[in-house]
Amino acid sequence: MRTNLAPECRTCRSRLSAYAEKDLAGAAAREVENHLLECGLCRRELQALEGAWQALALVGGLEVSPGQSRSLAARISQGQPAPGRKSLWSWILRPAYPALALALVLLMLVGAWMLRIWTPAIPGSSGSGGVIVTLGSAPPDPATALTNSHPAETALTLFGSGGGADADGPAEEVGNDFDLGGSDFDPAAQGQEVLAGYLE
Amino acid sequence: MEWVRQFQAGDAQAFNRLVEKHHRTVLNLVYRFTGSAREAEDLAQEVFLRVFRALPGFKGQARFMTWVYRITFNLCIRERGRRARREARTQDQESEEAQSLVEGLAQPGPSPDEHLVDKELEGAVRLAINRLPEDQRAVVILRRFDDLSYEEIAQVLNLSLPAVKSRLHRARAALKEMLTPYLEHSGRGPGEGGEKP
């Protein structure tokens, strides 16, 4: 279409945008104005240019409240990213949180299970000893227990094997099952025997 | 500039005042350049983060806003480059939408009410801005919406004065080509009430 234009129209249109921008002065501006007075096509072209430029005003903008601006400034000042904006580290770590928590729980469970497996059973320790004390029913007399100077004797007293004031009756019945030698019992020798048995 | 100096002197509140004053300008600059409100919010935050970090070293050789505009456009162009692949699909959709709009205009039906025409025209204007090459789009936005002089635009975009004028004139011509059919359809075209040749 432009190839069919008269040379004056072509010259005018090459300057039309600058003219519309009021960026044309002197002789060039006068030439355009003179041509526009006599050429309806070029006038139309100028109207189209200005109409398109004015139409840009139809594009609205975004509104910002003072609160939003203050919030943004505060986030930046405190070095915190906005809720919608993820930092590199949060991006890296966030998906790992549930897996990390699960792994920690599993690790603790496995650790506890392995501790149970690998802890050696101590003879006469709380496990079986506790049962024996329960079966001995009557609690030992602290005074009697304290009179026995040898630790093994103290242990026997706690087991209720005899000698204690409260070890009669039921204690004797149950005590038969755990007869460690009665009054002839030599704690040191018996301990060595038990130890040797375990070592074998 | 007073707030800039106060911030450089250690007044943290001065930064809040700077953000409050320029937040809307930066947000809309990005919004018009990218066409996305969500992207505008993210990038505006990034702009102010950079301003916050770089402000202690700001020498005041350029106007503060010229400097902020430059940061904004550098960031916009870099981000657009990063997201180019993702946007290719969207642009295809936009092209299809634009094509359907143009086809619709070629066979105008009954005249819709004024509100719908305005909405359609607004969409067409947004699309036209987005379809401008980035260098022309930046010049148009700074000139039309932010009312910057040629010299200021040249400073912001690091261009010569003739380059700014040339881009602006090409952009105006391109906008006219894209928008005239919509303007004519809405009764705002040059043929409406204008003199016939």
Taking residues A2-25, what's their average pLDDT? 88
**pLDDT score of B170:** 94
pLDDT in tens, A132-153: 444 444 444 544 444 444 444 4
Which of A170, A169, A165, A172 is CA-nearest to residue A141?
A: A165
Which of A50, A195, A32, A82 is CA-nearest to residue B40?
A: A82
A/B interface, count of CB pairs below 8 Å: 135
Q: Do B165 and A23 touch (CB under 8 A)?
A: yes
List of chain A residues whose C-beta atoms are within 8 Å of the C-beta of residue B15: 73, 76-77
Please compute, for residue A57, the number of CA atoms within 13 A of its CA located in the half-sphere on the CB side: 5
Cα of B48 to nearest chain A Cα, Å? 8
**pLDDT score of A135:** 41
Q: Do A44 and B140 touch (CB under 8 A)?
A: no
As a three-state string, the secondary structure of B99-110 is: HHHHHHHHCCCC
pLDDT in tens, A98-136: 788 899 999 999 999 988 877 765 555 544 444 444 444
**pLDDT score of B115:** 66
CA distance A155 to A157: 5
**pLDDT score of A192:** 65
Tell me the pLDDT of chain B (197 aa) as tens digits.
788 888 888 888 899 999 999 999 999 999 999 988 999 999 999 999 999 999 988 888 888 999 999 999 999 988 877 777 666 666 566 666 555 555 554 444 445 566 667 778 888 999 999 999 999 999 999 999 999 999 999 999 999 999 999 999 999 999 999 999 888 877 777 665 444 43
Compute the CA torsion angle B187, B189, B191, B193 (nearest 10 deg): 60
Q: Is the pTM of this model over 0.95?
A: no
Of A61, A66, A77, the CB nearest to B15: A77
Q: Do B183 and A48 touch (CB under 8 A)?
A: yes
Report for A74-83, A88-97, B47-56: range of highest mean pLDDT? B47-56
Q: Which residue of A has its CA nearest to B16?
A: A73
**pLDDT score of A200:** 57
Q: Which residue of B has its CA nearest to A23?
A: B165
Report how far apart, in Å, the C-alpha atoms of B185 and of each of A168, B119, B197 are: 116, 13, 19
Cα of A31 to nearest chain B Cα, Å? 19
**Looking at the predicted structure, is the pLDDT value of residue A23 above 50?**
yes
List of chain B residues whose C-beta atoms are within 8 Å of the C-beta of residue A60: 122
**A64 dihedral zone (left: phi>0; alpha: psi -120 to 50; beta):** beta
Q: Are B197 and A44 spatial neighbours (Cβ–Cβ below 8 Å)?
A: yes
Q: Report the percent of chain A where pLDDT is more than 90.
A: 30
> Which residue matches tokens 């075209």?
B189
Q: Among the residues of chain B, which ranges form H helices?
A: 2-8, 13-34, 37-54, 64-82, 84-106, 114-131, 134-140, 150-157, 161-185
Q: Do B180 and A51 touch (CB under 8 A)?
A: yes
List of chain A residues whose C-beta atoms are within 8 Å of the C-beta of residue B172: 17, 20-21, 49, 52-53
Q: Are A136 and A174 spatial neighbours (Cβ–Cβ below 8 Å)?
A: yes
Q: Report the percent of chain A where pLDDT is more than 70.
A: 49
Q: Do B20 and A73 touch (CB under 8 A)?
A: yes
CA distance B90 to B180: 24
Query: Average model confidence (pLDDT) for chain A?
Result: 69
User: Residues of B numbered 62-121 whose beta carbons fall under 8 angstroms of chain A's beta carbons: which are they?
Assistant: 118, 121
Query: How many Cβ atoms are within 10 Å of A102's Cβ, its own excluded?
Result: 10
**pLDDT score of B108:** 46
Question: Is the CB of B32 inside 8 Å of chain A's CB atoms?
Answer: yes
For residue A78, name the pLDDT band (cuts at 50, 70, 90).
confident
**pLDDT score of A132:** 41
Question: Is the CB of B133 inside 8 Å of chain A's CB atoms?
Answer: no
Q: Among the residues of chain A, which ranges form H helices?
A: 7-20, 26-38, 40-55, 66-77, 88-93, 97-118, 126-135, 142-147, 151-159, 170-177, 187-199
**pLDDT score of A196:** 67
Which of B77, B41, B116 is CA-nearest to residue A63?
A: B41
CA distance B159 to B154: 5
